[in-house]
Amino acid sequence: MTTNNIKDLLEQMWRDYSTMNPQAYRIYHSLLEKEDKIVNDHIALRTFNDPRIGIDVLKKPFIESGYVYKGEYHFTAKKLYAQHFEHLDPLMPKIFISELKLEEFSDELQQTVRGLIDQVPEELYQRFDFVNIGRPWDLDFKTYEKLLAESEYAGWVSAHGFRPNHFTIFVNHLKSIPSLRGVNDFIKRMGFKLNDSGGEIKGSKEVMLRQSSTLADRVAVAFSDGEHEIPACYYEFAYRYPKSNGVLYTGFVAQSADKIFESTNKSQ
């Protein structure tokens, strides 16, 4: 796909994500039977803080399309840093981009990751759709497992590359199930597991955001030495509360996000 249009890119991202993750496809379409439309609260992207592919590179297509920086978040234990971006049009999804702070990891991990990035031709990072390009490097399963052992996040990015790791249903806009607990029950009745780290529902009315998410779909990924089933992407559900001025809070909550990241962990 070669587009410079953000709506086309977001649609392409959804098509690729919902094709790769049957769980998201099934949840979306079951809800659509009862709703006229599903509003997407946000999309999350992951990367490494190498300047060639860091947040400043991944944010580009969004900034060019009218998105602006709105906030930053620190995750000390997971060694991550994140920023979020919003569009003037409130129906456009917010964009949450995190990056792994490579310098805080072993020399071996740093060298391995830089070696992966070295494989990527520079023209590729400059593409408008780089954020949805998938894995742009060769990777064998042993190397994946080594990265995973040091950081679940590093394992995920090395195996899946650049693609949304989740879309998020904006629960406030649902007419048939307007509560997060109701959505969670619906998801569980469909037979999907929720991420239970920190409880099924993260956040509160006080922090103006409550969130839950599925555990990532396990999908077959082609490594350079064969296919293996590993966690891919998850689906998130967000319910937002108004600020004192009556307008819905649009930011994220680091303490909750810290647990949401674990939705792609190998086991829970």
Based on its alpha-carbon atoms, the radius of gyration of the chain, rounded to whole angstroms, reads 18
Phi, psi of 105 (to 5 degrees): -110, 175
Per partner kind, with CB cut-offs from 5 to 8 A, the member of Ni ion, ligand OOG, none near residue 252 is ligand OOG
Q: In whole angstroms, what is the distance from residue 148 CA to residue 49 CA? A: 17
DSSP-derived 3-state class of residue 170:
strand
Within 93-152, the residues that bind ligand OOG by CB under 6 A are 96, 98
**Judged by CB under 5 A, which stretch of 37-45, 102-110, 123-131, 188-196 contacts Ni ion?**
37-45
Question: Edge-to-edge strands of the sheet including 209-213?
Answer: 68-75, 80-86, 94-100, 40-48, 166-170, 234-240, 209-213, 202-204
Q: Output the smallest distance, CB 262 to ligand OOG, in A.
A: 8
Q: Output the smallest distance, CB 171 to Ni ion, in A.
A: 13
Q: Does 84 bind ligand OOG (CB under 6 A)?
A: no
- For β-strands 166-170 and 94-100, DSSP reports them as unpaired
Q: In whole angstroms, what is the distance from residue 208 CA to residue 137 CA? A: 40
Q: Output the smallest distance, CB 4 to ligand OOG, in A.
A: 26
Q: What is the torsional sign of CA 121, 126, 127, 133? A: positive
Which one-letter DSSP state was computed for residue 173? Answer: G
Among 14, 85, 144, 261, binds ligand OOG (CB under 6 A): 261
Per partner kind, with CB cut-offs from 5 to 8 A, the member of Ni ion, ligand OOG, none near residue 98 is ligand OOG
Beta bridge partners of 168: 236
Per partner kind, with CB cut-offs from 5 to 8 A, the member of ligand OOG, Ni ion, none near residue 195 is none
Q: Output the smallest distance, CB 59 to Ni ion, in A.
A: 16
Q: Does 260 bind ligand OOG (CB under 6 A)?
A: yes
Q: Output the smallest distance, CB 208 to ligand OOG, in A.
A: 13
Within 189-248, the residues that bind Ni ion by CB under 5 A are 236
How many other C-beta atoms can be found within 10 angstroms of the C-beta atom of residue 111?
11
**Judged by CB under 6 A, which stretch of 9-17, 141-149, 177-185, 252-260 contacts ligand OOG?**
252-260
Among 23, 112, 165, 214, binds ligand OOG (CB under 6 A): 165
Closest to ligand OOG by CB, 8 vs 207, is: 207
Phi, psi of 180 (to 5 degrees): -65, -40
Within 34-73, the residues that bind ligand OOG by CB under 6 A are 44, 46
Per partner kind, with CB cut-offs from 5 to 8 A, the member of Ni ion, ligand OOG, none near residue 151 is none
Per partner kind, with CB cut-offs from 5 to 8 A, the member of Ni ion, ligand OOG, none near residue 120 is none
Residue 256 carries which side chain, given as an amino acid letter? S
DSSP-derived 3-state class of residue 189:
helix
Q: Does 78 bind ligand OOG (CB under 6 A)?
A: no
Q: In whole angstroms, what is the distance from residue 17 CA to residue 176 CA? A: 25
Largest CA distance in the chain: 56
Q: Locate tokens 């991420």: which residue? A: 195
Closest to ligand OOG by CB, 45 vs 139, is: 45
Closest to ligand OOG by CB, 142 vs 243, is: 243
